[in-house]
Amino acid sequence: MPQEEPDWSVLRRRAIGERIRTVRRHRKMTQEQVAHAIGADRRSVVRWERGQRDPALSMLVQIADVLDVPLALLVDDTLEIDLTVATRDSRPAS
């Protein structure tokens, strides 16, 4: 019998979905446009944004690329979303 998913996992999935939605809207892209650009269907994007499903890492990388943001911006909820300067080229120095 499958175990119930921990609360923290559900919260993280929802946070990632909200970040995807926020950046997508800022970039004035539709769910359909993002889906087409990454080779997924719109329903998948809807499910990811609602926190109903986890996007695979490979999909997250592609989403970040399409939205022109660092991957960390989508998955690290300690980072503030400042889309006036957030692009893949504005990655923090290592």
Q: How many structural domains comprise the chain?
A: 1
- Residue 3: how many CB atoms within 10 A of its CB? 5
Check which CATH number belongs to the domain holding 46 and give it.
Answer: 1.10.260.40
Please give the pLDDT value at position 89: 59
By residue range, what is the domain housing residue 54?
A: 7-90
pTM of the complete model beyond 0.85: no
Amino acid at 67: L
In a domain, 1, yes or no: no
Give the pLDDT confidence score for residue 77 in this predicted structure. Answer: 82
What tens digit of pLDDT does each residue of 3-47 get? 888 999 999 999 999 999 999 999 999 999 999 999 999 999 999
Mean pLDDT (the chain, rounded): 89
DSSP calls for the chain: -PPPPPHHHHHHHHHHHHHHHHHHHHTT--HHHHHHHHT--HHHHHHHHHTSSPPPHHHHHHHHHHHTS-HHHHH-TTS---TTT-SGGGPPP-
